[in-house]
Chain A
Amino acid sequence: MRPRFQLLDKSLIERIVGEAFQLIQNPGVRVAPYVVELLRAAGIRVENEVAHILEAIARKALESAPRGFSLYDRAGKPVVRYEGDNVHFDPGSSCLNILDPKTQQARPAQASDLARLVQVAEMLPQFSAQSTAMVCNDVPPEIGDWYRLLVVLWYSQKPVVTGAFSASSLHTLLELLAIESGGADNLRQRPRAVFDVCPSPPLNWSEFASQNMVDLARAGVPAEIVSMPLAGATAPVTLAGSVVQHAAECISGITIHQLAKPGAPIVWGGAPAIFDMRTGKTPMGAIETAMLDVACAEVGKYFGLPTHSYMVAGDGRRIDAQTEMESGMSAELGALAGINMISGAGMLDFLACHSIEKLVIDAEAIASAQRLIEGIEPRGESLAVDMFAQTGLSGDFLKLKETRALFRKEQHFPSAVVDRGLATMDETYPDVVTRAAQRVEELLSSCRRPDLATEREKEMLAFARREGRKAGLTGLPGISVPE
């Protein structure tokens, strides 16, 4: 039996969905001029850039959205399946700062930091996808979005969760992906990346978000809605009310997307959070934030759609007990909820900071979560009786052939990041951050950059130099070019 965690019963989901359909009609959804004609052509009333979407039209869009799709690795193998209760994890995205590996103090992230993070995530099987995890502060901001993607593609063959920073730069990112995939057709047929697109809460598909949704649908590259209700600030304070807003933002986004190209791949996703009424912060590690994540995904599953959420992030400013308690807890809940893509590992300080050391600690929490959802399996004809028939009351199970045959299936073996008593308990005993730092170094030293056809590699470099020059970039920070 696959263990599951659910927060909403069917009648509450139906109330949520019912109110979401009401909201998209009245007060409606703010949309950009870019999509007004598309919506009007489908019979949707748009006045003063507010679309009033009828339930019947939205339901049609929800039906045409695919129930599942795959992301492919560089070799063209489907390695991430967005569908049903499949669970995948990727590092958190677009962080401005990193905890410096030496000082453990936050500082602006550089391209070389992203390159390190990508190589570490590449080596960790817990992450089936990469993300464009950091903004590289050593490249001009206007090329920040595609440059992150370049660094990821350079060091990884895993699928990528990414996103554009503007309406126009999406096409630069798509061009880069097409080069890496060997053409736009290949990219469409075997997409390597999914693009996060964020509506602005409440119920606003800005120029940038509207345009990204339409252009991604037409390009046939998967889009992932990242709806971010902040309960009590930019969304109703009740968790149920915020789930309604999330549903309304997703349904309206899917309507825009499917009208542009029915059947284009789309994910019901988000990064909801509560709004702390003392500080105005948005704690990603709060239990209520995890509850929002799980509940929002349940509504997406009700429609049979692929799901995403933002979890495994803690809010401490350092790697400490709080940060890891929060990250571990939400990793377990996200896995139990069967969310297809769970982003956020490695992040701390309210998503303001990334840490590669935290990423490897989170990988251990994720491995535990992955073990948890495998559940408890009966193995063999009897559960215990046959083994007792061999041992009697001697308690000598270690010698049994069943023990040797099954212990690897039953037990997950964490890396040395988790103290299972392997390290000597003396004055040299390394704390968890030291153990994580050692693990990072081990992974980096065994990481080899995956091969890419020479022609494509040359083309990517030419592209990067050309586009970089337009923004005044000299050299390619973080990219190690083979001799």
Chain B
Amino acid sequence: MSENTYSAMRQSIIDGAPEAAADLAQAALAQGVPPLDAINNGYVPGMHDVGEQFALGQMFLPDMMASAEAMRTAMAVLEPELTRLGTERPMAGIVVLGTTKGDIHEIGKILVGTLLTANGFRVHDLGVDVPGEKFAAKAKEVGADIVGVSALLTTTMRNQRGVIESLEKAGLRSQVKVMVGGAPVTRAWAQEIGADGYAKDAMSAVGLARELMQQKAQGAAQEPA
């Protein structure tokens, strides 16, 4: 596959153009391009660019949403082929994401989910208004490494604590790292409720998730056999 096509894929993500992203994915499959190459050389670099430009204040949330949608449509074309070929992407970790109970806002969470997916995490998005028990049940079901809890309102932010309590009740807390985010959330709040990490935006959530995976690996290595 030519560099031009990879660069067009990358550009389709930067432009937030879902139709172009899907068309390029279809065309690549028709030409026999391995789907993993299209993802790694075309679409993921596009998402990286978007994340970097967002962090620099050169792209804005509506741009990110459009890029996330473009990424989603491209992946929807490529994933069935990945499965058919049995060529799983190397998996960075399993993440359960959701917006806390009482809160119906999910823009931030969708962005985090998209960027995590783009960076090789397997993301299970529980949606909005999710009670703590549901986070715990899903984490158990999928063997989550990380649970990410979002909240947009100061009132619902308090329910992030409940998610941690539910994980404790379910006996999962030692196996699962918890990261929290959302407009009113601060590092101090994350510490107060006993979360393992806080990220101020979607791009830093990816770095945090990688760091938490490392901590988890180190923790496991230190455990007595």
A: which residues have CB within 8 A of B? 94-96, 106, 108, 141, 165, 200, 232-234, 275, 277-282, 350-352
Q: Which of B104, B107, B183, B186 has the most CB of A within 10 A?
A: B183
Q: Is the CB of B61 within 8 A of A280?
A: yes
Q: Nearest CB to that of B200 among chain A residues?
A: A279
Q: Give the CA-CA distance A347 to B188 in the complex, in Å.
A: 19
Per-residue CB proximity of B152-194 to A under 8 Å, as 1/0?
Answer: 1011011000000000000000000000000110101000100
Q: A134 to chain B: closest CB distance in Å? A: 11
Once A96-B158, A352-B184 are accepted as A-B contacts, the answer to whether A278 and B107 lie under 8 Å apart by CB is no
Q: Is the CB of B60 within 8 A of A350?
A: no
Q: Is the CB of B154 within 8 A of A96?
A: yes
Q: Is the CB of B104 within 8 A of A200?
A: yes
Once A234-B105, A282-B183 are accepted as A-B contacts, the answer to whether A352 and B62 lie under 8 Å apart by CB is no
Q: Is B18 in the interface zone, CB < 8 Å from A? A: no
Q: Give the CA-CA distance A435 to B132 in the complex, in Å.
A: 45
Q: B95 to chain A: closest CB distance in Å? A: 20
Q: Is the CB of B158 within 8 A of A141?
A: yes
Q: Is the CB of B104 within 8 A of A350?
A: no
Once A234-B105, A279-B183, A279-B201 are accepted as A-B contacts, the answer to whether A351 and B62 lie under 8 Å apart by CB is no
Once A280-B107, A280-B183 are accepted as A-B contacts, the answer to whether A232 and B62 lie under 8 Å apart by CB is yes
Q: B114 to chain A: closest CB distance in Å? A: 15
* Residues in B neighbouring A141, C-beta threshold 8 A: 158
Q: B188 to chain A: closest CB distance in Å? A: 7
Report which of B57, B108, B155, B188 forms a contact with A280, defined as CB distance below 8 A.
Answer: B108
Once A280-B108, A352-B154 are accepted as A-B contacts, the answer to whether A106 and B183 lie under 8 Å apart by CB is no
Report which of B60, B108, B154, B183 forms a contact with A277, defined as CB distance below 8 A.
Answer: B60
Q: Nearest CB to that of A96 among chain B residues?
A: B154
Q: Give the CA-CA distance A233 to B62 in the complex, in Å.
A: 9
Per-residue CB proximity of B55-92 to A under 8 Å, as 1/0?
Answer: 00100111000000000000000000000000000000
Q: Is the CB of B183 within 8 A of A278?
A: no
* Residues in B neighbouring A96, C-beta threshold 8 A: 154, 157-158
* Residues in A neighbouring B62, C-beta threshold 8 A: 232, 277
Q: Is the CB of B188 within 8 A of A106?
A: yes
Once A96-B154, A232-B62, A278-B60 are accepted as A-B contacts, the answer to whether A350 and B183 lie under 8 Å apart by CB is yes
Q: Give the CA-CA distance A325 to B170 in the complex, in Å.
A: 49
The 7 closest A-B CB pairs, nearest first, are A277-B60, A277-B61, A281-B183, A352-B184, A280-B183, A96-B154, A352-B154
Q: B159 to chain A: closest CB distance in Å? A: 10
**Majority-rule SS of A interface residues:** loop
* Residues in A neighbouring B105, C-beta threshold 8 A: 233-234
Interface magnitude class on chain B: 10 to 19
Q: Nearest CB to that of B158 among chain A residues?
A: A141
Q: Give the CA-CA distance A212 to B107 in the complex, in Å.
A: 28
Cross-chain pairs A/B with CB under 8 angstroms, 10 sampled = A94-B154, A108-B192, A234-B105, A277-B61, A277-B62, A278-B61, A280-B108, A281-B183, A352-B184, A352-B186
Q: Is the CB of B155 within 8 A of A278?
A: no
* Residues in B neighbouring A108, C-beta threshold 8 A: 192
Q: B71 to chain A: closest CB distance in Å? A: 19
* Residues in B neighbouring A279, C-beta threshold 8 A: 183, 201
Q: Give the CA-CA distance A279 to B105 in the complex, in Å.
A: 14
* Residues in A neighbouring B183, C-beta threshold 8 A: 279-282, 350
Q: Give the CA-CA distance A278 to B54 in the complex, in Å.
A: 7
Q: Is the CB of A278 within 8 A of B57?
A: yes
* Residues in A neighbouring B60, C-beta threshold 8 A: 277-278
Which B residues between 12 and 41 are near A, CB-CB below 8 angstroms?
none
Q: Give the CA-CA distance A34 to B157 in the complex, in Å.
A: 27
Q: Nearest CB to that of A200 among chain B residues?
A: B104
Q: Give the CA-CA distance A95 to B155 in the complex, in Å.
A: 9
* Residues in A neighbouring B192, C-beta threshold 8 A: 108
Q: Which of A200, A233, A280 has the most CB of B within 10 A?
A: A280
* Residues in A neighbouring B158, C-beta threshold 8 A: 96, 141
Q: Give the CA-CA distance A278 to B188 in the complex, in Å.
A: 22
* Residues in A neighbouring B155, C-beta threshold 8 A: 94, 165
Which B residues between 188 and 212 are near A, CB-CB below 8 angstroms?
188, 192, 201
Q: Give the CA-CA distance A232 to B61 in the complex, in Å.
A: 10
Q: Give the CA-CA distance A141 to B62 in the complex, in Å.
A: 36
Q: Give the CA-CA distance A232 to B63 in the complex, in Å.
A: 12
Q: Give the CA-CA distance A275 to B158 in the complex, in Å.
A: 21
* Residues in A neighbouring B188, C-beta threshold 8 A: 106
Q: Give the CA-CA distance A352 to B188 in the complex, in Å.
A: 13
* Residues in A neighbouring B108, C-beta threshold 8 A: 280
Per-residue CB proximity of B104-145 to A under 8 Å, as 1/0?
Answer: 110110000000000000000000000000000000000000
Q: Give the CA-CA distance A153 to B186 in the complex, in Å.
A: 32
Q: Give the CA-CA distance A351 to B158 in the complex, in Å.
A: 15
Q: A318 to chain B: closest CB distance in Å? A: 14
* Residues in B neighbouring A281, C-beta threshold 8 A: 183
Q: Give the CA-CA distance A234 to B57 in the complex, in Å.
A: 22
Q: Give the CA-CA distance A234 to B105 in the complex, in Å.
A: 8
Q: A234 to chain B: closest CB distance in Å? A: 7
Q: Nearest CB to that of A234 among chain B residues?
A: B105
Q: Give the CA-CA distance A141 to B193 in the complex, in Å.
A: 15
Q: Give the CA-CA distance A95 to B154 in the complex, in Å.
A: 8
Q: Give the CA-CA distance A95 to B158 in the complex, in Å.
A: 12
Q: Give the CA-CA distance A165 to B154 in the complex, in Å.
A: 13
* Residues in A neighbouring B104, C-beta threshold 8 A: 200
Report which of A94, A165, A350 forms a contact with B184, defined as CB distance below 8 A.
Answer: A350
Q: Is the CB of B201 within 8 A of A233?
A: no
* Residues in B neighbouring A94, C-beta threshold 8 A: 154-155
Q: Is the CB of B154 within 8 A of A233?
A: no
Q: B158 to chain A: closest CB distance in Å? A: 7
* Residues in A neighbouring B201, C-beta threshold 8 A: 279-280
Q: B219 to chain A: closest CB distance in Å? A: 29
